[in-house]
Amino acid sequence: MRFQLLGPLSIAHGPETVVLKPSKPTSLLAALLLHPGTVVSTGYLLRAVWDEEPPATARAALQTCVLRLRRLFAKYGISATTIEAVPGGYRMRNDTETLDLALFRFLTAQARAASGTPEELYRLREALSLWQGQPLSNVASGMLQRDAVPALEQERLRVLERVCDLELAAGNCHQVLVDLYEGARHRPVRERFTEQLVEALYRTGRQAEALAEYRAVRERLREELGVDPGPGLRRLEMAILRAEELGPAARPLAPERAPRHAALAVRDRSAPGPAGPPPVPGFAGRGADLRALADRLTDPRGPRLLVVCGAPGIGKSALARQSAYEMRTAFPGGVSAIDLTRPDGSPLDAGEARALLPGPGGDGRRLLVLDNAAGAGQVLPLLPETAGATVLVTSRRALAAAVATHGGFVHRLDVLCPAEAHALLAGLVGAERIAAEEQAARELAAVCGWFPLALRIAAGRLLTRPGLSVADCAAWLAADPPGRLALAEDPRLSVPEVLGRAVGALPPELREAFLLLGSLEPGSGPATAAEESVLEQLVEAGMLEDGPPGEPYRIHAFLRGYARWLARDRAGTAALLPR
């Protein structure tokens, strides 16, 4: 059994494929499948099913829709528990075996980690073969048609552009002409397709046709949007007119260029988005986290302030910057990011931070990323200066004072799962090298506690020592993980430096409590009221996590190991005290 989103919403059951009729349960199913494995809030589902006018009985009607879906599932042998009712909403746990969208994203991730062009092309072609037409064409939800469908189509177009780039680089110009004609005709403002088409025609000796395509898109852009083609197309036209030899056709998968006129973002939501932070090198996993932030960032009625918090080194900055990159098309007014911390780890003061704030920018919604905030006191003075922008903040702290006074959404980040940690290592070190030592790579990820910071440090060690095996690296680090996970060139890539600064910033009583936690085993018993107050402060500082029922607090195993390492030498602890 497989659910299919990349075309009409349908259920494939053996040789049979059932296309669902447009209905409220179909809209509900689509909204859940778009967020596999994630708790989808009741509010989001109500908007997906009833758009802006849910009836007074909408919550009860939503439960009825769930019951209707479960009855439908029973006809095809699908468990009723496939849809889980959880606090705050519902969840469907789909994976690559049961959802085409999950498989599409898995294949594109594999392509990014591919060891060469043939493998990358094979994975990307395999991913594109999953598309069976216009996504969600039988889903009546206005909200999903307006927001989710363009985002899905954008994912497909990025893959198709990359395929055409690779084929052109390999000299296979004839093989991609059909795809390029379709892309250039239907999406003239997405100029990369026209560039590729003109280039392919010229490389196959069809100079007149190449120039005709250029002139056709130039006239269409002028008539519909009042703009000329971009510099890439204009340079290509001049090269053809001069009969110049074109350079290599290949180019790396890179951030898409910003639209040259605000009308592009308004007229075609598949157009490239505004310039902003580039994608994070080697970024892997975090699918549920990215989707949770995307839901908030794209909701026009969503919070203006979003906070990503968690332990030091857990990947908050990477998640925020990758989210900003992936969601840049939703912010035609621009995407900006500033670091609120100096290179030595000390926080910027209010005047320094204000001087870095961007100007008003273009028309439309804007996104501002405030990275590495020390606390609410650093962020609060900046919010009145951000002129209505959506503000995404990363901090070890949850910034309760800022959220309480301005409203907002707090997303607490956990460590990577083992599969995500493995994917991060493969993306940084190379898929072939990691695949050659699968078990050792898993052991290395475990030694690093599945912390992105530690994994990047380990990857740096492997990259600078090509002859070092993954197994030997894991064994060497396992002897002293907190002490050996450091790259001498950069204190930001050093576990003792990063975690040492975090512990050193704690008040003395919290520092002592953190060191004590390292000596305790999980489930050591309930805390007293006084202890609970200290533990709550450690949670707020990002050094402790909320735990499962019956065990209200937990500490990451990696942080527990660091606390033990630090406590071995009280002189080392004393060196952290403020002077």
Q: Is 181 helix (H, G, I), strand (E, B) or coil?
A: helix
Please classify residue 187 by burial: count the beta carbons closer than 10 Å to its beta carbon, then call 0-12 exposed, 13-18 middle and 19+ buried.
middle
Amino acid at 400: A
The stretches in the chain having pLDDT less than 70 are: 52, 188-189, 244-277, 343-344, 359-363, 488-491, 521-530, 547-551, 569-579
Our measurement of the distance from residue 460's CA atom to the centroid of its chain's CA atoms, rounded to an integer in Å, reads 22
How do 89-92 and 390-395 pair as beta strands? unpaired
Only one residue has tokens 């794209």, namely 298
Contact 563, 518 (CB under 8 A): yes
> Residue 355: enclosing H or E segment and its boundaries?
helix 350-356
Contact 28, 66 (CB under 8 A): yes
pLDDT score, position 267? 30
| DSSP character at residue 437 | T
Kindly report whether the global pTM for this prediction surpasses the value 0.95: no
pLDDT score, position 187? 72
First to last CA, the chain: 64
How do 83-86 and 89-92 pair as beta strands? antiparallel
Its sign, for the CA torsion 502, 503, 505, 511, is positive
pLDDT score, position 260? 33
285 closest CA partner among 153, 426, 147, 395: 426
294 closest CA partner among 387, 388, 409: 409
pLDDT score, position 525? 54
The encoded tokens of residue 459 equal 């990857």
pLDDT score, position 271? 34
577 closest CA partner among 474, 481, 507, 482: 507
pLDDT score, position 263? 31
User: CA of 237: how far to CAs of 194, 199, 486, in Å?
Assistant: 11, 9, 50
Rounded Cα gap, residues 142 and 19, in angstroms:
19
pLDDT score, position 150? 86
| DSSP character at residue 18 | E
Using left for φ > 0, alpha for ψ between -120 and 50, and beta otherwise, residue 345 falls in left
Our measurement of the distance from residue 447's CA atom to the centroid of its chain's CA atoms, rounded to an integer in Å, reads 25
pLDDT score, position 533? 83
Contact 144, 48 (CB under 8 A): yes
- CA torsion angle 258 260 263 268 (round to 10): -50
Rounded Cα gap, residues 82 and 97, in angstroms:
14
Contact 540, 401 (CB under 8 A): no
Contact 157, 270 (CB under 8 A): yes
To 5 degrees, how large is the angle CA 553–CA 302–CA 157?
Answer: 100
Q: Is 228 helix (H, G, I), strand (E, B) or coil?
A: coil
pLDDT score, position 247? 55
Q: Report the DSSP beta bridge partners of residue 10.
A: 4, 19
| DSSP character at residue 81 | G
- b/e per residue, 12-47, with b = 16+ CB within 10 A? eeeeeeeebeebbbbbbbbbbbbbbebbbebebbbb
Phi, psi dihedral angles at 277 (to 5 degrees): -60, 140
Q: Which stretches of 276-396 are assigned E, i.e. beta strand?
A: 305-309, 334-339, 366-373, 390-395
